[in-house]
Amino acid sequence: MTPPTTALPPQGRPREEVLAALRAQAEDDPDYRSGRLWSLVYWLGEEHDDFLGEAYQAFSSANGLNPTAFKSLKRMESEIIAAVAQLHHGPPETCGVVTSGGTESCLLAVKTYRDMARARRGVRRPEMVLPVTAHVAWFKAAEYFGVRVRLLPLDAQLRPDLARLPGLLNRRTVMLLGSAPEYPHGSIDPIETMGAMAQARGVPLHVDACVGGFILPFMAMNGRDIPPWDYRVPGVTSISADVHKYGYAAKGASTITYRSLELLKHQMFVHTDWPGGVFASPALLGTRPGGAYAAAWATLQHFGIAGYRELAERTTEAFDALRDGVAAIPELAVLGQPSGPLLGYRSRDPAVDIFAVGDQLDAKGWKVNRLQRPDGLHAMVTANHAPVIADYLRDLREAVAAVKANPQLARQGSAATYGMMSHVPLRGMVRSRVLDLFAGMYRAGGADLDLDSPPPPAGPFDALLERAAQWYVRRRQRAQGRNG
């Protein structure tokens, strides 16, 4: 573990000492450079990191708060939005802004359509329709902006059940969401059909392409069969796309674009009576970090279409190899119909607990995410994963064999914790427990969250949760034993 430091030392420390201590802080971080991490990071090598750092540093003090002050940042933003409009087949009126990340882009779409429905139709109790697989950022936006979520269930292929959609749309609906692709299973929602249904009802359709916005266009250019999901679909009114994912920019760069300025205006904030002067802001942030703009712009200019096509080709080859390799393991099954570049997979063998398989992979040095409903493991594939796919599949086969040979592994480590939390039917209890654990990390000097060693119950309510979870898991295990 990294040794503790004084939060604010009485005297300043030499720069080299501070930088050495900073590097030491990363000792416990996942090894993304070797392709051992399957989420969170999109890494292309030290040389690209240095390039991003130079671009970021050149504008690290610049502030995009006032577009009339730092005209350089506004020019970069305009060119980034123009590039996105081109990639997503936007009409000449396409417009938008650079944001701090996918979550801000999602929040802005909900705010925009809520306000537009209030201004145009007098909607006071707004609702939006989200597929079950919508990213959690949309649920955060619903909570922040007071928009009720109506969930669109999935069909047997884990895709939105569009037969249920008409019954969810009503006069209070301010927007409909589709994803390209959705995060848990990597499937592209049926945007064409959703667009036609939304257009017929006069409902805006936003496409969450935070993951896919900077790779799906290049996969299509390379000959991959990708269904229409962007502004070619008439009902699509806005799209979010992260430059810091498959655009390989530095963290802190996403975009939200709209089909027209009349839509974008509802996103903007203007205040005319502040003693500091008239204030206008196009997005959620006030101060907008210039370094993120510069690194995003520089990355797009550096790769261009040819560079992104090459990265997409490497990613697609790695994705296909992983998907086919998982499907070839008899005890496992790929979830849904992933188009790339991410997928989930589950156990099809009652003797193989998928969370225990995840523990075995973690023990071998991989960092894999867990899914629930249905239980599964997840992988977001980048160009950096191409050299390690064979190693991952070998370790996955070994992990499956180990779990199948030793069912007790399902009752140990994080497999037990995830299994309990995933299947406890009283979800409010789960939320309360997670909230307590998570909030504790944010005390001054708060400790890391360790799912492998959950803290003991703090009170009767926590004890009740854990007893309920344990009861549910025992019941499930008994049922599996009977089925086996």
- Residue 460 above 50 pLDDT? no
Backbone angles phi, psi at 295, to 5 degrees: -65, -40
Tens of pLDDT, residues 363-385 = 999 999 999 889 999 999 999 99
Distance in angstroms (rounded) separating the CA atoms of residues 222 and 317: 12
Query: Stretch 428-454: mean pLDDT, rounded?
Result: 59
Query: Stretch 433-440: mean pLDDT, rounded?
Result: 63
204 vs 60, more confident = 204
Tens of pLDDT, residues 22-77 = 889 888 888 888 888 888 889 899 999 999 999 999 988 888 787 778 788 899 99
Helices (H), 128-210: 136-145, 191-201
- Residue 198 above 70 pLDDT? yes
Nearest to 233 by CA among 292, 193, 285: 193
Distance in angstroms (rounded) separating the CA atoms of residues 384 and 361: 19
Q: Which H/E stretch holds residue 468?
A: helix 460-483
Residue 464: per-residue pLDDT: 46
How much of the chain, in percent, has pLDDT values that exceed 90?
67
- Structure confidence at residue 281 as a pLDDT band (50, 70, 90): confident
Residue 461: per-residue pLDDT: 46
Classify each residue of 425-443 as buried b or exposed e, where b means 16 or more C-beta atoms within 10 Å of its C-beta: eeeebbeebeeebeeeeee
- Residue 219 above 60 pLDDT? yes
Residue 167: per-residue pLDDT: 96
- Structure confidence at residue 457 as a pLDDT band (50, 70, 90): very low
396 and 329 Cβ atoms separated by less than 8 Å: yes
Residue 459: per-residue pLDDT: 44
447 vs 357, more confident = 357
462: Cβ–Cβ under 8 A, 6 or more apart, which residues?
433, 436
* Bridge partners for 205 per DSSP: 176, 236
Three-class secondary structure of residue 462 per DSSP: helix
Of 67-71, 346-350, 390-394, 478-482, give the lowest mean pLDDT range. Answer: 478-482
Of 116-125, 208-217, 278-287, 323-332, give the lowest mean pLDDT range. Answer: 278-287
Residue 315: per-residue pLDDT: 97
Residue 443: per-residue pLDDT: 61
Classify each residue of 12-39 as buried b or exposed e, where b means 16 or more C-beta atoms within 10 Å of its C-beta: eeeeeeeeeeeeeeeeeebebeebbbbb
Distance in angstroms (rounded) separating the CA atoms of residues 94 and 108: 16
- Residue 118 above 50 pLDDT? yes
Distance in angstroms (rounded) separating the CA atoms of residues 330 and 397: 10
Nearest to 254 by CA among 106, 139, 372, 387: 106
- Residue 398 above 80 pLDDT? yes
How much of the chain, in percent, has pLDDT values that exceed 70?
84
Q: Any idea which residue has 């699509």 for tokens?
A: 236
* Bridge partners for 99 per DSSP: 254
315 and 38 Cβ atoms separated by less than 8 Å: no
Mean pLDDT of the chain: 88
428 vs 38, more confident = 38
Tens of pLDDT, residues 150-163 = 999 999 999 999 99
267 and 113 Cβ atoms separated by less than 8 Å: no
- As to burial, measured by CB atoms within 10 angstroms (0-12 exposed, 13-18 middle, 19+ buried), residue 61 is exposed
Tens of pLDDT, residues 102-115 = 999 999 999 999 99
What pTM does this model have?
Answer: 0.86
- Structure confidence at residue 421 as a pLDDT band (50, 70, 90): low
- Structure confidence at residue 479 as a pLDDT band (50, 70, 90): low
180: Cβ–Cβ under 8 A, 6 or more apart, which residues?
188, 189, 191, 207, 208, 209, 211, 212, 213, 216, 229, 230
Residue 393: per-residue pLDDT: 98
Tens of pLDDT, residues 79-107 = 999 999 999 999 999 999 999 999 999 99
Single-letter amino acid, residue 471: W
